């Protein structure tokens, strides 16, 4: 995905959507805290299931603890990975927008030049 081929409107709209997503993600809401607790509880579930299997033998409940804990940890991992990708992409968008604005500042059009090109 080459950002140089995108139009200014596309860059602005995607940047605006990602910016609102980042603001929502940084708010101290229950949903945002839940993702971190998912990872912690998944790790706790895995460790509890493994310790119970080690000391008491494998039972269906212990195996379920390990399986569900693994799913919770994987869910947390994918969510955190996606969050980092979105933040990095937002930084790339900001760099491209600033590059384009710097380029337009370096080459300002004179009104007479514009009228010559229009005629």
> Over 60: is that where the pLDDT of 115 sits?
no
What's the alpha-carbon Rg for the chain, to the nearest Å? 25
> Over 90: is that where the pLDDT of 59 sits?
yes
Is the model's pTM score more than 0.85? no
Judge residue 75's burial from the number of C-beta atoms within 10 Å of its C-beta, 0-12 exposed, 13-18 middle, 19 or more buried. middle
Backbone phi and psi for residue 21, each to the nearest 5 degrees, phi listed first: -65, -45
* pLDDT of the residue at 1: 63
The position carrying tokens 């990095």 is 88
* pLDDT of the residue at 33: 75
Over range 56-74, report the average pLDDT. Answer: 93
The DSSP code sequence of 42-69 is HHHHHHHHHHHHHHH---HHHHHHHHHH
CA pseudo-torsion sign 7, 8, 10, 14: positive
Over range 81-109, report the average pLDDT. Answer: 81
């Amino acid at each position: 995905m080459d950002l140089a081929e995108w139009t200014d409107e596309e860059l602005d709209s995607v940047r605006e959507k990602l910016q609102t997503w980042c603001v929502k993600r940084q708010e101290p809401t229950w949903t945002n805290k839940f993702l971190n607790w998912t990872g912690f509880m998944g790790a706790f579930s895995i460790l509890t299931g493994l310790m119970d299997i080690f000391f008491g033998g494998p039972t269906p409940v212990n195996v379920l603890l390990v399986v569900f804990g693994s799913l919770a940890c994987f869910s947390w991992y994918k969510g955190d990975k996606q969050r980092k990708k979105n933040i990095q992409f937002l930084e790339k968008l900001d760099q491209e927008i600033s590059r384009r604005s710097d380029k337009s500042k370096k080459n300002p059009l004179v009104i007479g030049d514009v009228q010559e090109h229009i005629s």
